Structure 1
């Protein structure tokens, strides 16, 4: 695995443990010779992640939409900084240049990013691992909600189980190395059902 995209907050959060987790992630990726791909900001957990990876000798690629670049929150000292025309283009480029995707603590933007890329995996648009770094139980309630979604019949357990969860950077990266994508995607299943009905 050459590059991992990390989705995380542009704010630091209310507990220092989140900042420490971002430092640990950046340092771990650099030490394992994995390029960090992220949203390109110099603020909050995003900035901490990038600085930690750079300080440990790692490569960091930022992707930021022009609207945010113009208000001077971009980190201009990265290995590479790409400025996209839109949020959609930003996410598409991050998906293209990354071999896996990790969500750390963050807000609505972080949720949007990890669920969109996880949906693409569910539909069979890519076979890259997606995961949550569950810092001190941050994602416990979200995981419980996903269990409820499975129980209510809106998500297959085989897809939910492919969302990797771990509590440390090393554990989640190791799990990514052993990741095997689902054998059948939701999209493929729908196509097969449709073709059967037409026969």
Structure 2
């Protein structure tokens, strides 16, 4: 059941996702548009490269919060429409809101529709829908990052972990959640196409979170 109120909540989710964290922080504290440097994206990974660790962490945290908060807006639509918590209908509304926020991050109205790749916002969405699978994704992300120092590769591996864990470990019975997991894989592959090309050529930039690069 679609109502004017539920459509308004979807619009709010898009506007929330459209907050260009990396762009605004870069302009406010460094006087630059992060999209003009590094990979040219307005996401956490490029913020780490261009603006440094502290700002990168801030961007990542806020972008995760965007996805999480937007997804949890389902609670404000009303159970008479969404159904009870953890029901298939409720999860469908959560997914719809989360996807809308991710689209806002990819195509932000507040930044000329030039956003980031949506990984952090996607994670916030996953955290809201299935926190156990989200924590497993974090574990995979950290392990791959520690081994390779490639944020892009870590994001791709973590993205593929979600649908696999939902199906084989947590055995979700909600078809839309499984379908969403498959869509996450496709989205991450599409948005990281250039990263994959650089990885294959050995030209992808590394991010050293826990140690300095030795020249």
Instruction: Answer whether TM exceeds 0.5 for this pair.
Output: no
TM-score w.r.t. structure 1 length? 0.27
Task: Judging by fraction of residues, say which structure has more helix.
Answer: 2
Task: Judging by fraction of residues, say which structure has more strand.
Answer: 1
